[in-house]
Every structure is written in C-alpha cells, then in structure tokens.
A and B are shown apart, each in its own frame.
Chain A
Amino acid sequence: METLTDLLFELSNDDRLKILLELEEGPKNLTRIAKDLDLTAQGTSRNVARLVQTSLISRNPEGDYALTPYGMTSLRLLSSYRFLSENKQYFLSHDASVLPYQFINRLGELYVNSFQGDFITTFAKAEAMMRVAEEYVYAMEEQFHPNAPPIVAEKLKLGVELRTILPETIVPPPGFRPAAGVERRLLPSVKINLFMTDKEAFFGLPTLDGKFEYSVFVSEDQKFRRWCLDLFEFYWAQGKPLLGSVPNLA
C-alpha cells in the first residue's frame, strides 16, 4: 500500500498539484515554473525534487521538467475526485452507490455543470429542453410529465426519437393518457433522474433514503452529455420493452 499512499501524498499538496497541472500544458524549467505559479524558487525546487523522486515528472535532456505517463495518468484520475470534493454536500445527502462503478469512475466528465435545486425549475427545464430538441429526447423518470403529450406529438412529426425508461410499478396520474410514438422500457425501479436531448442534459441521484430527486446537475457540455447518454444506454439495454398500453391507467 506504500506506493499508493506515497502517490496520494504527493498529489495532496496544493503547490505540487499546481506544478503538475502546469506541466500538463508542456515541459518547463524550474525558473518558469516558479514564476508562472508565483512560488518561491526554493519551494519549487523542493517540490519538483519530490515529484521527480516519485516518478510523476522527469527531467528531459534540455533540462526542462515534464510529466511522465505516471504523472499524466494520475492527473486524469483526479477529475473524478475533484467533482466529488467540489460537490461534497451533495454527495453527503445523496446516494451514489446506485450508479454502476464504471460511471462513478467517470464522474470527472460531469465537471462543467450548473445545479438546479428544486422540482419546479427542473420540471420547467425538461419541458424547455424538449421544445428545442431536434434529434432525440431520452428520459429516465419515475412519473409521466403531464405537459408532455402535445410536445411529444409535435416532436414526432419532426422525426425526433423519443425514449423513456419507467419503473414497472408506475401509476400514471388519473386521467392521464401517455403519448403514442414514444419507445418505452421498464425497470424494476427508477432511482436516477436522467433527461437528455441532442443539446443538453440533466442528471440527479436519489436521496440517501432512496427517493427520486428533482435537484439535478444540468449541462450543455459534450463530456457531460456523453456520460449521461452512456448511462442511459446502460439502463436502456436492461429495460423490458413496454409493448401495448401503459399499465395501471386510471
């Protein structure tokens, strides 16, 4: 375990981390590093020596310092830790263990986002996203969106692909008639809030006691959307196609 904790120890220092991130842009000599990061020459020299000692960086023949593949990969892995620590309160009050480990490892891709904390805003957001969707609308929901059917009808005419994952136990609101033309699949339960179009996506984890949540992370960022899309496809592949009418209609 020594190599592991040694590695984490080197990364756990603000100055050393800054040096590594600086070198991600390209090789630099000691003077440049100290100057660009506004650090003392002595401190930089000491930290650089430590980073060389643990093989995170190395000196090239020109006398510049550069990241080793070990250093480069260490930085890549940091992005998920960064997302986690920057959203500490969220992760203390929500249950990420519902996510498959492949997606926990990729949390760093959600980095560019804004946070929406309540039901009303998220509800309105979904509707707004649907209206401007041009290629697809994919959703994982615990309940039908009551305002959806007319928008769905309009989108279908434009050739937009619509898919929804719903819980098997879903009971539609009384009098609600789900729109036709949406491809639907069922899962035993739906805990993760996932909604995406070809332009934007949002995602939310359940609360600690397993309740579906409407506070979500939203983003137009390509990596964020890719993560959401991959997660949706993961659950879509497991879902049972809903053929015929929606169950439990009142």
Chain B
Amino acid sequence: METLTDLLFELSNDDRLNILLELEEGPRNLTKIAKDLGLTAQGTSRNVARLAQISMIERNSSGDYVLTSFGENALGLIAGYEFLAQEKDYILSHSTRYLPPQFVSRLGELRRNERVTEILDVVSSTARALRAASEYEWFITPGRLSSPRDIVDAVDALKRGVKIRAIEPPHYVPSDKVMSETPREYLDFFEQSWRKGDLQHRCLDEVRIRMYMTDREVAILALPKRDGEVDVLGYHSEDPAFHGWCRDLFEYYWMRARQENWFWTQGRYPGSS
C-alpha cells in the first residue's frame, strides 16, 4: 500500500498538482515553472525533486522537466477525484451504489456539467433537448413525468426521423389523465412507431436512475438518493465525455433489459385485472 499512499500524498499538494498540470502542457525548466505558477524558486525546486523522486516527472535531454508515462497516467486518473471533490454535497446525498462498478470508476467523465436544482428546469431541459434532437432520444426512467405534452413532443420528434429508445419498469402505463387527454391520433402514431421499430421499448425490473439524452446532449442524469429512492434532479451536460459515459450506461442497461410484446397504447397489460 506504500507506493499507493506515497503517490496520493504527492498528488495531495496544490503546488505539486499545479506543477504536474503545467507539465501536461509541455516540457518546462525550473525557472519557467516557478514563474508561470507564481511560486518561489526554492519551493519549486523542492517539489520538482519530490515528483522526480517518485518518477512522476523526469528530466529530458534538453534539461527540461516532462511528465513520465506513469505521471501522465496518474494525472489522468485525477479526474475521478476532481468530480468527487467538485460534487461533494451531491455525492453525500446520493448513492453510486446502484451503478455498475465500471461506471463508478469512470465518474471523472462527468465533471463538465451543470447541476439542475428545479423540477421545472428538468421539464424544460428535456423538452428542449427533444426538440433539438436530430437522430435519437434515449431515456431510462422509473416512470415518466408524463403529460400529454410529452407524447405530442415525442410524436413530433418521431415524425422528424428521431428514433426513440425507452427503458421503463415492466408493464408501465401512463396515468389515466394522460391517456384521456392525449388526442387519439397521437396515441395511434405512437403505437405505429412502436410496431415499426422507430420507437423501441424495453423493461428492467429495477430502475433507479433517471436519464434523458439525445444525440446532442444529456438533458438530465439523476442518480438515486442516498436511501435508494429515485431522484428527479441531477445534472445536465453537452460535454462529449459526459455524453459518452451516459451513452455507454444506456447501452449497458439496454442490453440487459427485456422486450415486452405489448405497449401501453394498447390499453391494460394482458392478464392484469
């Protein structure tokens, strides 16, 4: 464990971390490092020596300091802790326990984000994202924040050629209110799209995260609260790395979700009372 804690110890110092980040930009000599970072020559010399001692940096043939391959990697992994530190209060009140472990390891990819703290912002964010979508809308939800507006927006998107994939709990049916207030032709179009495969629908027994994304952005990613309860609020992002993480997570769940031979536009689930 000693090598690990030694490594973490060197990274746990603001000055040394800044020196590493500076060297990520390219080779630097001692003077330049001290000058660019506003540090004393003595302090810089001491910190550089420490970083060289654990082989995070080394001197190249021109006498400049560069990151070693090891150092570059160690710095790359910082993103995960950066995310944690940045989102400390969110992480303290939510659970990563329900995420597949490989996605917890990759949390650093979520660090460019905007926190969404109002339900209205969630609604407007998802509606706006859907309108701007050009290829697909994918979502995973324990139960949609459904209004007839959602269905109308989805139909408009489908007509534009946007493909929809949805993961919901088994036998999900929108509320009677939504069913009765949505014009029949929209429900019919929805069903047709499902039959044609433009709208694909699968089920997972346990759905605790909520995620709406399109080919352009992630409208909302909401992890469950600390006690496992589903949350509506979470993060929004247009960042490519954030998007990649969400895409991979959706594909992970999609591959494990079941197809049902029934869609809620047909009325109650066959066999239910």
Contacts and interface: CB of A to CB of B under 8 A. Distances in A.
A223 B18 CA distance: 34
5 contacts: A7-B12, A12-B6, A12-B12, A77-B107, A108-B105
Given A2-B14, A105-B105, A208-B69, A80 B3 contact: no
Nearest to A82: B4
Interface residues of A, number: 53
Interface stretch (A29-37, A42-50, A89-97, A241-249): A89-97
B91 interface: yes
A-B pairs, top 9 by smallest CB distance, nearest first, are A8-B12, A12-B8, A12-B9, A9-B12, A4-B85, A3-B85, A77-B80, A85-B3, A91-B70
Interface stretch (A65-73, A150-158, A174-182): A65-73
B77 A104 contact: yes
Interface residues of B, number: 53
Counting chain B CB atoms within 10 Å of each CB, which of A84, A97, A107 scores highest? A84
A7 to B, nearest CB: 5
A177 B3 CA distance: 48
B106 interface: yes
B67 to A, nearest CB: 10
A96 B69 contact: yes
A123 interface: no
B2 interface: yes
Counting chain B CB atoms within 10 Å of each CB, which of A1, A6, A72, A105 scores highest? A105
Interface stretch (B93-101, B112-120, B127-135, B152-160): B93-101
A80 B80 CA distance: 10
Contacts, number: 162
A104 B73 contact: yes
A97 to B, nearest CB: 6
Given A102-B244, A105-B80, 10 more contacts: A9-B12, A69-B94, A70-B91, A80-B80, A81-B7, A86-B4, A92-B68, A93-B69, A96-B69, A96-B73
Contact of B84 (A74, A107, A208): A74
A7 B5 contact: no
Nearest to A80: B77
B17 A1 contact: yes
A69 B92 contact: yes
Contact of B76 (A2, A4, A82, A104): A104
Nearest to A95: B69
Contact of A91 (B73, B108, B226): B73
A230 B244 CA distance: 14
